Amino acid sequence: MPRVIVTTDEGEMIWNEGVQASDFEGEHFCHALVDRVGWAVADAESTWHLATSEPVRIDPAFRRPRNQHLAAQRPGALAA
């Protein structure tokens, strides 16, 4: 079966859908397919932008130690 596939430049598959020539006889299918391809391309682009952007540096002074965060969420947990 023929397939429409959208991948990132790194080869990560974002979307993969099987299609047949007869699917294109319906106007609704054609419009819906274009929408799905558009969303998949946008997702692939945003994945690329995330992978190529600089990591966010968080000032250690603003970080809360992980175990304190978890203890605060558990009722009856001992305070650190």
For residues 63 and 48, give the distance between their C-alpha atoms in angstroms, rounded to a whole number. Answer: 28
Task: Tell me the C-alpha to C-alpha distance, in Å, between residue 18 and each of 7, 13, 22, 57.
Answer: 15, 14, 12, 42
- Quickly state the pLDDT bin for 80 (edges 50, 70, 90): very low
Confidence (pTM): 0.57
> Residues 13, 19, 25, 28: is their CA dihedral positive or negative?
negative
Tokens of 27: 């106007």
Domain definitions of the chain by residue range: 3-73
> Widest CA span of the chain, in angstroms?
66
**pLDDT tens, residue by residue, 18-61:** 999 999 999 999 999 999 999 999 988 887 666 655 655 656 66
Instruction: Indicate if the pLDDT at residue 63 is higher than 60.
Output: no
Position 36 scores a pLDDT of 94
